[in-house]
Amino acid sequence: MTAYLLRRFVSLSLSLVAASLVIFLVMEVVPGDPASFMMGINADPEAVAALRLQMGLDEPLPLRYLGWVAGLLQGDFGVSYTYRVPVSELISERVMISLPLTLYALALSTLIAFPAGIIAAARRNSAADLSVMGATQLGVAIPNFWFAMILVLIFAVNLRWVSAGGFPGWDAGFVPALKALTLPAIALALPQASILARVMRSSLIDTLDEDFMRTARAKGLSRGQALWRHALRNALIPVLTIIGLQFSFLLAGGIIIENVFYLPGLGRLVFQAITQRDLIVVRSVVILLVFAVIVVTFLVDLAYAAADPRLRRHRR
């Protein structure tokens, strides 16, 4: 078990280093001179020179890379060129919205997908299965921004249960903040839940056809008991993979939903930074997302090992 985790940890750390190198090269070296790129074509040469100095572009490349990484390790992401504030502040504000939103959406998606997938698999070809399959087909097909707007129309405009957008901040209290995140979380969760339910269903159906399920039935377990005790854990591995991928996707991929609901999240930050050519913010957000993906991958690996003892085995 420890050997397995250690192996995963080493390989993930190496991928983090590799990712940081790629990001550094793409952002700092490929555009030529980052400072003039950021200032645009008509920039004042003196301003460009000042920016070069501020970004430390006069130093040799390896030193710049090491300096950047050393800064990252201490939580120093540099100062945003457009906002004139430390990037770490910008990001932490945004993460306080994006991370809860992601977790919220992921929780909703799992809560919807698991029962739906299990029922559909257990009663294959029944009316319940057909409706789950139909609903998830729709859920995958409908663009989530359109669905978000419908949600706003119904729950904010007509019923007036929640506001149509914006975020009051966590200072306003837990309930109002959560309320503001509810519609976006639903809009984000719906397509993810549809995908997850389908994966759950097909994985469970495959498991139900396994020989050991017949053994379980021959021991006297009812269909339901056999499903809960023997099929579910075996069916979980592909589902965990998808949940891991969805986390990473939701964390950064909420740009459109954040725009629909006027939420100042990470997605909007990186979008604005790109349009304003604020490379310092862009590279910081990108490295943060890579880090998040790697951490999630590690957690998924842990979950694999918990679900399947074959991965924990000591190699002989």
Chain centre distance of CA 296: 9
Contact 179, 97 (CB under 8 A): no
CB of 210 to another protein, least distance (A): 6
CB of 244 to another protein, least distance (A): 19
Q: Binding of another protein at residue 115 (CB under 8 A)?
A: no
> Binding mask 36-75 vs another protein (x if CB under 8 A, - otherwise)?
----------------------------------------
CB of 7 to another protein, least distance (A): 9
CA dist 258 and 127 (Å) reads 36
Nearer to another protein, 125 or 158 (CB): 125
CB of 238 to another protein, least distance (A): 14
Q: DSSP assignment of 18-43, as one string?
A: HHHHHHHIIIIITTS-HHHHHH-TT-
> Binding mask 233-262 vs another protein (x if CB under 8 A, - otherwise)?
xx----------------------------
Which amino acid appears at position 36 of this protein?
Answer: S
Q: Binding of another protein at residue 126 (CB under 8 A)?
A: no
Interacting residues with another protein between 286 and 315 (CB under 8 A): 307-310, 313, 315
Q: Binding of another protein at residue 26 (CB under 8 A)?
A: no
Taking CA atoms, 241 is separated from 45, 93, 119, 244, 303, in Å, by 50, 29, 21, 5, 10
CB of 53 to another protein, least distance (A): 44
Interacting residues with another protein between 191 and 230 (CB under 8 A): 210-212, 214-222, 225, 229-230
Q: DSSP assignment of 177-227, as one string?
A: HHHHHHHHHHHHHHHHHHHHHHHHHHHHHHHHTSHHHHHHHHTT--HHHHI
Place of tokens 């503001």: 180
Locate all alpha helices (DSSP H) within the chain, ordered by sequence. 2-24, 34-39, 45-55, 61-73, 87-122, 127-141, 144-151, 174-208, 211-218, 223-226, 232-253, 255-260, 266-275, 279-307
Q: Binding of another protein at residue 172 (CB under 8 A)?
A: no
CB of 116 to another protein, least distance (A): 23
Name the residues that contact another protein, by CB under 8 A.
3, 210-212, 214-222, 225, 229-230, 233-234, 307-310, 313, 315
